[in-house]
Structure 1
Amino acid sequence: MEEEKIIVCFGDSNTHGYDNKTGGRFDKNTRWPMVLQKLLGEEYLVREEGLSGRTTVFNDPLHESLSGVEVIRPILLTHEPVSLLIIMLGTNDVKERFAATPENISRGLDRLIKKAQDAEEAFLGAKPNILVIAPYPIDDEYRETAIGNDMGEGCAEKSRKLPALYKTIAEQNHCHFLSATDIPGMENYPYDYMHLSPKAHRALAEALAERMKEYLS
């Protein structure tokens, strides 16, 4: 029997499945990693590693344990052998309190990727296989919502610059790359203009399922 292919989904609230209507979490039939699991079938094991507020490398002065680079190694070793690591981060990095430019954020992604690649044993000696997803940019209207003051100024503008920068970083590190802006349906934001709707979760999962053979080849 062929060994199951393990896919680790490493992200923030949009991987955890934050439901901005309730403040809770979408159910397993809605969250994109679990939708992806159903689409791929029993030959795959999709592991959810999403945490609300997570950044690439920045330590949040208001909340603990949100820097992705500090936890990526143990997470990968927990799920070994990993066939594919999916990284979708950057939305929280644009918060005003981090005072990070888009270029700073892309350098944070670069550091995170290299940290993951250093955990080579999690991939059982194979070349680390990583997919970088540039998150869908924040809409300008976020500023007038309940999360506007927490996020601060300039978030939407910075987030729009990330896909092009992320693509360059992914290519330099020999990673797969996908921009959420290229997936039909991902623009479907509800209420706060930052978190994915159920339709957007489904759109992302379907796009990944269609490309999975390419990512694992």
Structure 2
Amino acid sequence: MHSILVYGDSLSWGIIPGTRRRFAFHQRWPGVMEIELRQTGIDARVIEDCLNGRRTVLEDPTKAGRNGLDGLQQRIEINSPLSLVVLFLGTNDFQSVHEFHAEQSAQGLASLVDAIRATPIEPGMPTPKILLVAPPTVQSPKHNMAAKFQGAETKSAGLAEAIDNIAKEKRCEFFDAAKVTPTSVIDGVHLDQEQHLALATVLAATVAEILADY
């Protein structure tokens, strides 16, 4: 069996845009991806570790534990052996409380990659492959997202290219979610159910290709 760890934020946790509720497992993209992989004959288990507000390497000034480095190596140990780790982070680096720009956020992901590869896993267990997913761009944040993500569109400009460069530098896989779906028109930050489905379908094919090398 292939174990896949999805390490992400609210876009992967499955928050329903405009609410504080959550899509069911079979509706959010990690769950849909697991279902699709299994339907194609790939024995895969998707482990979700997705925390609302998680950054790459930044601290949330009001909530503890949102720095993506916090506990990452322990999560790798806990869930090993892993075939693949999917890092789907970056959006929260551009909250209005931070001054991060695209290059800094991508460097934050590079730090997470280094931490994963330095994890003291048990002898004989493989170091997992890593897939970096560039999140779709925040666009016209609305309602309760408006103040929180003010200026995010400008600060995040060029993020996908910056993450792609890190993927090449660190020899990771890369996927640009914006090529599949934009963010929800409801809040400009998260994903609608149909967008989760579209993303999962393409990511499942990408992950299947990665797992084929095992």
- Whether TM exceeds 0.5 here: the answer is yes
User: Residue 53 of structure 1 corresponds to which residue in structure 2?
Assistant: 53
Residues 132, 178 of structure 1: 8 Å contact kept: yes
Q: Distance in 2 between matches of 1:39 and 1:45?
A: 11
Q: Is 1:149 matched up with 2:144? A: no
Deviation at 1:193, TM superposition (A): 0.7
Q: Which residue of 2 aligns with 1:10?
A: 7
- State the partner residue of 2:20: 23
Distance 1:148 1:76, change over 3 A: same
- Write out aligned runs for 1:150-165 (5 A): 150-152=148-150, 154-165=151-162
TM superposition shift of 1:174: 0.6
Post-superposition offset of 1:123:
9.3
Distance in 2 (CA, whole Å) between partners of 1:5 and 1:120 is 20
| More moved, 125-134 vs 63-72 | 125-134
- Percent identity of equivalent pairs: 29
Q: Secondary structure of 1:121's partner?
A: coil
- 1:95 and 1:123 map into 2 onto residues whose CA distance is 40
Using CA pairs under 8 Å that are at least 6 residues apart, name the structure with larger relative contact order, 1 or 2. 2
Task: Indicate the RMSD between aligned Cα atoms, in angstroms.
Answer: 1.7
Structure 1 counterpart of 2:32, which letter? V
What displacement does 1:18 show?
0.6
Normalising by structure 1, report the TM-score: 0.90
Unpaired runs of at least 5, structure 1: none
Alignment: residue pair count: 209
* CA displacement at 1:72 relative to structure 2: 1.2
Q: Give TM-score scaled by structure 2 length.
A: 0.92
1:11-52 deviation line (CA, Å, top 9, x unaligned): 000111111243111111211111111111171111111110
Q: Structure 2 stretches of 5 or more lacking a match?
A: none
Match of 1:196 among 191, 194, 200: 191
How much has 1:146 moved relative to structure 2?
2.3
The 5 A counterparts of 1:90-129 are 90-119=90-119, 121=121, 124-129=124-129
